[in-house]
């Protein structure tokens, strides 16, 4: 039995800027059932330019970990349908994107929801479910 070298090699990490946006299809799914699969599917994703995806060796449908000091999530990669220059990735405003938002407001009461810096890397883990986000909050409650 050989040693699975891949197990010890970490996938490369890249720094990425993320801004959030609104998507009518996700809002529709939220109106109907915010605990449903549609809402999760339309929220737990990151939209990237073709350039950036090539640079980072990512394909549409890949799962990536997006993490910073504020938190960490696993979401699906989607390729932007537009001709994007790259450098900025996009996430739909959702409980997933909010995991990454800093609460450093300078006391002004308004976080930088649309100005996120994070590290992104290819992973095999499952996509972060809404249930797992809820579980996190429920545990907080028990403490």
Partner 1 sequence: MVTVLEIYQLLPKTNCKICGESTCMAFSVSLLGRKRKISECTPILEVNFKKQKEKLEALLLPSAGAEETGMIVHPELCTGCGNCVVACPVDVANDPKGAAIGCAPTNDKVIFRVVDGKVVASNIKECRRFGKNRVLCYACIDPCPTGAIEFV
Partner 2 sequence: MSTCPGCALLCDDIEVVVESGRIKETRNACRRGAARIKGCINRLAPTIDQKPSDIESAIKKAAGILKDSKSPMLFGFSNSTCEAQVKGIQLAKKLGAMIDDTSSFCQGLLIEKILQKKFRTCTLEDVRNKADVLVYWGSDAQDSQPRHLSRFSYFPRGESRQRGYEEDRIAIAIDVRESNTAKICKGHFYRIQPKGDREFILALIDALSGKVPAYEPKKILELAAILKKAEFGVIFVGIGLTYSIKEDFDILVSLADKLPNFQIMPMVGHYNMRGFNENLFKETGFVNRVRFHDTAVHDDKYSIIEALREKSIDALLVAGSDPLSSLTRSLIRHLASIPVICIDPCVTMTSKIAAVTIPCAVSGVESGGTAVRMDGKKIGLSKIIESDYLTDEELLVRLMGAL
- The helix (H) or strand (E) run that includes residue 42 is helix 37-43
Smaller CB separation from partner 1, 24 or 140: 24
Smaller CB separation from partner 1, 25 or 136: 25
> Closest approach of Cβ 28 to partner 2, in Å?
4
Work out whether 3 is an interface residue with partner 2 (CB under 8 A).
Answer: no
- Cross-strand bridge partners of residue 91: 20
Q: What share of the chain is helix, strand, coil (3-state, %, to 5)?
A: 30, 25, 45
> Closest approach of Cβ 44 to partner 2, in Å?
13
Listed residue (137, 130, 136, 134) closest to 36, CA to CA: 130
Find which of partner 1, partner 2, none residue 85 binds, CB within 5 to 8 Å per kind: partner 2
- Cross-strand bridge partners of residue 23: none
Work out whether 31 is an interface residue with partner 2 (CB under 8 A).
Answer: yes
């Amino acid at each position: 039995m050989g040693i699975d070298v891949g197990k010890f090699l970490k996938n490369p990490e890249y720094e990425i800027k993320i801004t959030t946006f609104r998507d009518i299809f996700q809002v529709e799914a939220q109106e109907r059932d915010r605990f449903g699969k549609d809402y999760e599917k339309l929220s737990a994703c990151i939209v990237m330019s073709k350039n950036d995806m090539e640079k980072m060796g990512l394909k549409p449908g890949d799962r990536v970990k997006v993490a910073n000091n504020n938190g960490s999530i696993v979401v699906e990669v989607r390729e932007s349908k537009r001709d994007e220059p790259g450098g900025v990735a996009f996430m739909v405003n959702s409980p997933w994107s909010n995991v990454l938002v800093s609460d450093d407001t300078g006391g002004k009461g308004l976080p930088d929801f649309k100005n996120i810096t994070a590290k992104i890397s290819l992973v095999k883990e499952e996509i972060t479910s809404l249930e797992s986000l809820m579980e996190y909050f429920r545990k907080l409650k028990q403490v």
